[in-house]
Amino acid sequence: MKQCYLIIDIARCEDCNNCSLACKDEHVGNQWKGYTAAQPLHGHRWINVARHERGQFPIIDVAYRPTPCMQCQDAPCEANSRGAITRRSDGVLLIDPGKARGRRDLVESCPYHAIFWNEESQLPQKCTLCAHLLDNGWAAPRCVQACPTGALQFQRLEPAEMSALASARKLRPLHPELATNPRVFYANLHRFDRCFIAATVAARRNGRDECVAGARVVLLRDGSPCAETTTDPFGDFKFDALEPNTAGYEIHVYSGDQPAVTSPVPQLEKSISLGTLWIAAVETVS
């Protein structure tokens, strides 16, 4: 049977929080019988937008990650709920307000911190993927409908179809080491869990300092080339999606067949900007 999936593209998210506002508009003060109790006005973010900054001035990357319930296939919350959390045939996990009353322990059972405690109602609550709307013919949950940039996409697919799509688009789940098999997949997740090496290439020509556009730049690791790019019109370049806590990198900026400048990179614990790499002359890539 087709399952419900969310695909979230971090590169498209602009931190407008329309998704979170739409969720509150749908659930605050509204009790959807058979699906969830009303969400309280304050304290709950059933889809929370996390923020992450990488790099150093002047090359900095800021990214935003909408984070809802992962609707996990192997959900710890469901396993520990004693029937208070159930899974529908389409994969959506729902918390039964009657069976879950007083079960504050269920909040701690979610490794993604996606379950919230409603003090007034004495209930654990979370994103329902707007199941009440899906059951009434809606094509997507409110968060997806409200996203102005297309960062959120909703899909109904067979698991094999989703696996093929994830492979084709290089989608990844959040924290795969948790082994919960989530139904939320991310594009460009490297902007949260990977590193970059960046710099600006410049040269002094006729007594003037100029950015060097179109210069060939090669990234080596342990002496072997592993990536290549060219500088942009501002002389900047970036090698992204590198594993943190790695070493052995070196940057070569080429002039013709020979490196015009080389720059070793220290232990890559986090994203790093090497500043300006000065060269005497360079042949640019056309």
Pairing of strands 3-9, 152-157: antiparallel
Q: Give me the pLDDT at residue 279, please.
A: 87
Nearest by Cα to 195 from 274, 253, 262: 274
DSSP 105-121: HHHHT-TT---EEETTT
Provide the 8-state DSSP code for 270.
Answer: S
Q: Give me the pLDDT at residue 227, please.
A: 97
Q: Which two tokens stand for residue 86?
A: 């159930």
Q: Give me the pLDDT at residue 282, please.
A: 54
How far is the CA of 99 from the CAs of 42, 117, 160, 256, in angstroms? 24, 15, 33, 71
- Evaluate whether 181 touches 73 at the Cβ level (below 8 Å): yes
Q: b or e along 247-256 (b: 16 or more beta carbons within 10 Å of the residue's beta carbon)?
A: eebbbbbbbe
- Sequence ranges of the chain with CATH classification 3.30.70.20: 3-192
Handedness of CA 95, 68, 4, 41 (dihedral sign): positive
CATH for 194-279 is 2.60.40.10
CATH class of 3-192: alpha beta
Max CA separation in the chain (angstroms): 78
pLDDT tens for the chain, residues 1 to 286: 899 999 999 999 999 999 999 999 999 999 999 999 999 999 999 999 999 999 998 899 999 999 999 999 999 999 999 999 999 999 999 999 999 999 999 999 999 999 999 999 999 999 999 999 999 999 999 999 999 999 999 999 999 999 999 999 999 999 999 999 999 999 999 999 999 999 999 998 888 889 999 999 999 999 999 999 999 999 999 999 999 999 999 999 997 777 888 889 988 999 999 999 998 755 566 5
Q: Give me the pLDDT at residue 235, please.
A: 95
